[in-house]
């Protein structure tokens, strides 16, 4: 149930982020996103796996060593911000239908001071 609620929250946040953000700002990630989509198409990100998304801290994590008894998928892309991960939800998260999503992003987010 928590997974469903988190997934719904991510979709909701993604809708808001997509509506307010300029798509050109996300174009710099196209190569990384295409590579992740290729992994999905090649079956390297199994349906129902535990999906790790986020910035370089995720991308560089050796998941097979850390979780040898779990089926994991790594969809991290270095330098990404939380909004980037949310923006690409339909392309890099939804197709895997993960059993769990682990997100680590935000270190690269800009702090807005009023």
Domain boundaries, the chain: 2-104
If you average pLDDT over residues 83-102, what whole number do you get?
A: 95
CA proximity to 10, closest of 110, 112, 98: 98
pLDDT tens digits for range 5-23: 555 555 555 555 554 556 7
CB atoms within 10 A of CB 64: 11
pLDDT at 107 over 90: no
pLDDT at 93 over 70: yes
pLDDT tens digits for range 44-91: 999 999 999 998 889 999 999 999 999 999 999 988 888 899 999 999
Integer-rounded Cα Rg, in Å, for the chain is 14
Q: Are 114 and 20 in contact (CB under 8 A)?
A: no
What does the pLDDT read at residue 8? 56
Give 2-104's CATH code, choosing from 3.30.365.10, 3.40.50.1110, 3.40.630.30, 3.30.465.10. Answer: 3.40.50.1110
Order of strands, sheet of 100-104, starting from the edge strand that comes earlier in the sequence: 72-74, 50-54, 100-104
Q: Are 55 and 105 in contact (CB under 8 A)?
A: yes
Q: Are 26 and 87 in contact (CB under 8 A)?
A: yes
> Read out DSSP for 42-86?
TTSS-TTPEEEEESHHHHT--HHHH-TTS-EEE---TT--HHHHH
pTM for this one?
0.75
């Amino acid at each position: 149930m928590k997974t469903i609620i988190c997934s719904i929250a991510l979709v909701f946040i993604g809708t808001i982020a997509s509506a307010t953000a300029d798509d050109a700002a996300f174009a710099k990630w196209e190569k990384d996103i295409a590579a992740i989509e290729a992994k999905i198409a090649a079956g390297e990100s199994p349906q129902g796996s535990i999906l790790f998304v986020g910035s370089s801290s995720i991308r560089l994590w050796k998941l097979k060593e850390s979780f040898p008894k779990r089926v994991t998928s790594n969809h991290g892309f270095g330098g990404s911000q939380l909004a980037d991960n949310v923006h690409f939800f339909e392309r890099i998260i939804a197709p895997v239908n993960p059993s769990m999503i682990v997100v680590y992003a935000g270190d690269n987010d800009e702090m807005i001071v009023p």
